[in-house]
Amino acid sequence: NTTSQEIRRLIPNISRHLERLPPGFINNGYQYMDAFGEKRERHPNMRRFAGEDAAEANERIEMFNRRPL
């Protein structure tokens, strides 16, 4: 069974689903929809969130690698 911790690790920024939406998007509680009616499961900015998370993780790794032995 997959634990909730593993799910959070596998799905970047699961907690960011409540972040402010870009103009023209709404959330009906289940999906995100743009002004043209196109529906999606993930926040429209999820790629940006994943990139930010990757940059933060890389920074932590670099700090770890620079620490004295």
Segments forming the whole domain that contains residue 18: 4-66
Total structural domains within the chain:
1
pLDDT confidence tier of residue 18, bands split at 50, 70 and 90: confident
Distance CA 39, CA 35 (A): 10
pLDDT in tens, 35-65: 999 999 889 998 888 888 888 889 999 999 9
17 secondary structure, DSSP code: G
* Bridge partner residues of 26 (DSSP): 33
Is the pTM value of this prediction over 0.75?
no
Q: Are 24 and 34 in contact (CB under 8 A)?
A: yes
pLDDT value of residue 9: 62
pLDDT confidence tier of residue 20, bands split at 50, 70 and 90: very high
